[in-house]
């Protein structure tokens, strides 16, 4: 039996001689519990936001993307596509030719990004599953079709057409003609295309992207060959990092070879930085909250001085007495962490089920804050609490005078 722990539990739950000590004990316990709950909830919300962003952008991010380090285009003979396709784990590849163009429909103009891809590009990330209206069709019987983001389609008032209408006009500067400050129609390449579908992904791509066939994009942009990027889809059972390493060895140092995370690296780094900055701020708040516990133990040491003096006279050493108050601080931290985690978990479960904490009024893609509880946070939050409270308690109890009196 651990006598020091037993006495610490008696001290914790026993009624104190002064009511102010009871109040300080409650405040200390509540401070640790609330700080724990808030820390866990905030980390879970950041996890939910990150998962949402990853899921949304993965619909457009290839497993691996190859782009040139120098220049704008990758020449046709720069990468052996057959060799890439023969790699173990590669399921699908598509050449991509993209640039910014002007879209015109019914005298309405809109600047967006044209993305020329293979006719079966929907295989890349099952883009056909995010079609809002019409169908994901780029080419059929020799005719070209476009698939617009819902934001682009809404601004241009351009619904999908069931017939070959060619109602969507696309303009791009003619690279063979000299451009002036005032751009004339004669200095622009123009092509007409039929809108076949509208996609809705709840991302920024909805208002800035239009898919067209690669052949159509070559004609409009004035490129007979080459492509701006090469996108690769890997088989589900294969590690993308392994395939990425093999492609990097194959292509050399003249190309960037990025996985899905690296393609949106800036966004994810900002989100991760915000998470850990918030974590540091809340940990600092927890440190301040622990001062209440330290103050409570200091007062308790003074109140229990006669009792600890008796223990000393019965043969207990200073280390024994110190352990009583160290256990006292740890008990407060432990119970506070457990209650705080329970409150945090209950809050997160209710948020997942009912979504009662919302983003408020406005054109937000999400109505309620997403939440994702992870085991590492369940373990990390109590660890931080003990890292903060244990040194403070040990430092305080180390000041106990070795010779405690009975008086």
Name beta bridge partners: 406. Answer: none
Position 168 scores a pLDDT of 94
Higher pLDDT, 171 or 374: 171
Question: What does the pLDDT read at residue 12?
Answer: 66
3-state SS class at 15: coil
* Residue 55 or 162, more confident: 162
pLDDT at position 317 over 70: yes
The CA distance from 187 to 180, in Å, is: 9
Give the pLDDT confidence score for residue 406 in this predicted structure.
42
* pLDDT for residue 56: 63
pLDDT number for residue 152: 95
In terms of Cα–Cα distance, which of 292, 271, 278 is closest to 56?
Answer: 271
Could you report the per-residue pLDDT of 318-345, keeping only the tens digit for each?
A: 777 777 777 777 888 788 888 988 999 9
pLDDT category of residue 17 using cuts at 50, 70 and 90 = low
Indicate the pLDDT class of residue 160, thresholds 50, 70 and 90: very high
- Look at residue 220 and tell me whether its pLDDT is greater than 90: yes
**CA–CA distances in Å: residue 190 to residues 59, 166, 167, 404:** 29, 12, 12, 93
Q: 184 falls in which pLDDT band (50, 70, 90)?
A: low
pLDDT at 179 over 60: no
Tell me: pLDDT of 44 over 80.
yes
Share of the chain above pLDDT 70, in %: 84
Assign 117 a pLDDT band (cuts: 50, 70, 90).
very high
What pLDDT does residue 381 have?
77
Using pLDDT thresholds of 50, 70 and 90, give the confidence band for residue 169.
Answer: very high
Where do the domains of the chain lie?
A: 3-57+267-397, 64-260
Spatial neighbors of 387 by CB under 8 A, at least 6 apart, are none
Q: What is the mean pLDDT of the chain?
A: 81
The rounded distance, in Å, linking the Cα atoms of 399 and 288 is: 21
Distance separating the N- and C-terminal Cα atoms of the chain: 29
Q: Which of 80-89, 177-186, 322-331, 372-381 has the lowest mean pLDDT?
A: 177-186
The predicted pLDDT at position 405 comes to 45
Q: Is 95 helix (H, G, I), strand (E, B) or coil?
A: strand
pLDDT digits (tens, 9 = 90+) for 52-98: 776 666 667 788 999 999 888 999 888 988 999 999 889 999 999 99
In this predicted structure, the answer to whether residue 215 has a pLDDT above a threshold of 90 is yes
**Which of 66-75, 290-299, 359-368 shows the highest mean pLDDT?**
66-75
Distance in angstroms (rounded) separating the CA atoms of residues 286 and 356: 26
Quick one: pLDDT at residue 94? 92
Q: What band does 1 get if pLDDT is binned at 50, 70 and 90?
A: low
And the tokens for 314? 């019965």
What is the predicted pLDDT for the residue at 57? Answer: 61
Give the model's confidence band at 315: pLDDT under 50 very low, under 70 low, under 90 confident, else very high.
confident
* Residue for token pair 């059972």: 237
User: How do residues 187-204 score in pLDDT, each as one tens digit?
Assistant: 788 999 999 999 988 778
Q: Is the per-residue pLDDT at 183 higher than 70?
A: no
Q: What is the pLDDT of residue 98?
A: 93
Mean pLDDT of 119-125: 85
pTM higher than 0.75: no
Give 119's Cβ-side CA count (13 Å radius). Answer: 9
253 CB contacts (<8 Å, ≥6 apart)? 69
Mean pLDDT of 305-324: 74
């Amino acid at each position: 039996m651990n006598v020091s722990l037993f006495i610490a539990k008696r001290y914790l739950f026993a009624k104190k001689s002064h009511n102010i000590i009871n109040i300080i004990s409650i405040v200390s316990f509540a401070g640790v519990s609330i700080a724990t709950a808030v820390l866990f909830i905030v980390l879970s919300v950041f996890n939910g936001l990150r998962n949402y962003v990853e899921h949304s952008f993965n619909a457009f991010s290839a497993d691996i993307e190859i782009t040139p380090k120098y220049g704008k285009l990758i020449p046709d003979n720069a990468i052996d596509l057959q060799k890439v396709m023969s790699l173990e784990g590669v399921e699908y590849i598509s050449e991509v030719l993209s640039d910014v163009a002007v879209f015109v429909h019914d005298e309405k103009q809109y600047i967006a990004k044209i993305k020329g891809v293979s006719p079966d590009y929907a295989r890349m990330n099952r883009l056909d599953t995010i079609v809002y209206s019409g169908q994901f069709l780029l080419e059929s019987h020799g005719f070209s079709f476009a698939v617009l983001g819902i934001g682009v389609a809404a601004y241009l008032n351009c619904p999908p057409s069931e017939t070959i209408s060619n109602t969507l006009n696309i303009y791009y500067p003619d690279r063979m003609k000299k451009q002036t400050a005032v751009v004339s129609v004669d200095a622009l390449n123009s092509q007409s295309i039929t809108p076949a579908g509208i996609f809705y992904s709840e991302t920024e791509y909805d208002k800035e992207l239009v898919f067209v066939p690669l052949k159509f994009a070559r004609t409009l942009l004035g490129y007979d060959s080459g492509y701006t990027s090469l996108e690769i889809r890997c088989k589900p059972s294969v590690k993308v990092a392994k395939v990425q390493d093999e492609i990097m060895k194959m292509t050399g140092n003249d190309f960037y070879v990025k996985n899905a995370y690296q393609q949106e690296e800036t966004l994810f780094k900002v989100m991760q930085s915000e998470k850990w900055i918030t974590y540091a701020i809340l940990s600092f708040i927890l440190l301040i909250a622990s001062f209440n516990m330290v103050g409570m133990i200091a007062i308790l040491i003074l109140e229990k001085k006669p009792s600890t003096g008796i223990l000393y006279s019965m043969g207990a050493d200073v280390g024994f007495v110190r352990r009583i108050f160290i256990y006292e601080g740890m008990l407060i931290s432990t119970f506070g962490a457990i209650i705080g985690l329970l409150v945090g978990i209950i809050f997160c479960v209710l948020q997942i089920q009912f979504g009662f904490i919302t983003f408020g009024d406005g054109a937000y893609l999400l109505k309620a804050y997403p939440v994702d509880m992870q085991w590492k946070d369940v373990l990390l939050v109590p660890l931080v609490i003990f890292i903060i409270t244990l040194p403070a308690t040990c430092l305080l109890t180390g000041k106990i005078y070795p010779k405690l009196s009975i008086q």
